[in-house]
Amino acid sequence: MQKTPTDPLEKGPGYWLYEQSGVLKPVVEKYLNGNLLSQNELGIMRAYLRQWVASPVWDGNPHADEESRAELNALRGAISKITDQAHLEEWFQKGLDLGMVPL
């Protein structure tokens, strides 16, 4: 029997492939196939990214310094600024720069 994590740092962010509602997967696949997302789909992606980047696991990085913590907080704050595909691309690049790959 597998142990369920009790420490929030043991449990990472929810990953899109395991999302149960069936709403997120088509949006991510559409994006990964190079298609533009509608405003509604951007909202779905924002909700996913918000829970991803809010995970306490990112706060537990033992290699984080003051600058990387500030970048993480800026990335968290930038979620609401994702209003079009260009902003989404910028957000993903900033996440990649921090070693975060949500897709």
CA distances to 16, 17, 24, 41 from 21, rounded to whole Å, are 10, 11, 7, 14
pLDDT value for 10: 55
Q: Are 91 and 79 in contact (CB under 8 A)?
A: yes
Tell me how far the alpha carbon of residue 87 is from its chain's centroid: 14
Write down the pTM of the prediction: 0.82
Q: Would you give per-residue pLDDT tens digits along the chain (103 residues)? A: 444 445 544 567 777 878 888 899 999 999 999 999 999 999 999 999 999 999 998 888 888 889 989 999 999 999 999 999 999 999 999 999 888 888 8
Q: Are 88 and 44 in contact (CB under 8 A)?
A: no
Cα–Cα distance, 26 to 29 (Å, whole number): 5
